[in-house]
Amino acid sequence: MTPGHVFLVGFMGSGKSTVARLVAEALGRPCVDLDDALERTSGRTPAEIFAEDGEDAFRMLETEALERLVDAPASVVACGGGVVVRPENRATLKRMGSVVYLRVTAGEALARIGDVSTRPLLAGSGGVIAATSLLQAREALYTSVADITVETVGRDARAVADEIVSRLVEVPR
Ligand code: S3P
């Protein structure tokens, strides 16, 4: 097992929050949800921040929330789907721990999310076409930061978490 945090990255609906809880439990580590942490410090939900101040303001708060983890005990961290968009975040992820990419298709992600009203980048957009193009634009970024990539389509969260726990021991640092 490597020191530092275990970061779960991947598209909205890839199962990061659920899988993070299971991995944290298995490793006996705290579980942190970056969107929840950001919501606690800003007093607003990501959807409210997007609506009131726009995506750039949200990304700024997301970077700050990520950087605050430098002082936290080694945790399993479920990141928001867009954390990889900013280069400084990608560098922070690599510097502070191991990165696990949960891969999902746009169709499966939308099916899992169901009501997209809490996902401003999907709400009011063209559904599967918008999700596909956003996922395509991010795929290389997820891959570039990942120490481990795990397929999630057709698998339950427990199976995904078990694979992560067994493969984390292989991650060189
Ligand atoms: C976002 C994903 C969301 C949230 C925000 C932006 C994105 O988190 O951070 O709505 O840009 O993909 P989840 O991936 O947990 O849904």
State the distance from the centre of ligand 1 to the C-alpha of 13, rounded, in angstroms.
Answer: 9
Atom of ligand 1 nearest to the CA of 78: 15
Query: Residue 124: left (phi > 0), alpha (psi -120 to 50), or beta?
Result: left
Return the SS3 of 64: helix
Instruction: Give the C-alpha separation, 8 to 101, whole Å.
Output: 6
Closest CA to 82 of 136, 2, 29, 11: 11
Q: Taking the model in full, what pTM does it have?
A: 0.95
Instruction: Give the C-alpha separation, 160 to 149, whole Å.
Output: 10
pLDDT at 2: 44
Residue among 119, 135, 136 to mutate when testing ligand 1 (max atoms within 8 A of CB): 119
First-to-last C-alpha distance (Å) of the chain: 10
Per the document, the length of the chain is: 173
Neighbours of 96 (CB within 10 A): 19
State the distance from the centre of ligand 1 to the C-alpha of 34, rounded, in angstroms.
Answer: 10
State the distance from the centre of ligand 1 to the C-alpha of 55, rounded, in angstroms.
Answer: 11
**Cβ atoms 27, 167 nearer than 8 A:** no
State the distance from the centre of ligand 1 to the C-alpha of 118, rounded, in angstroms.
Answer: 9
Taking 70 as the pLDDT cut, the residues of the chain under it are 1-3, 125-126, 172-173
pLDDT at 166: 96
pLDDT at 172: 62
Instruction: Give the C-alpha separation, 59 to 108, whole Å.
Output: 25
Element (H, E) at 16: helix 16-27
Closest CA to 104 of 72, 132, 137, 80: 132
Tens digits of residue pLDDT in 109-124? 999 998 888 888 888 7
Which residues, judged by CB distance below 6 Å to any ligand atom, belong to the binding site of ligand 1? 12, 16, 35, 46, 80-82, 119-121
pLDDT at 129: 85
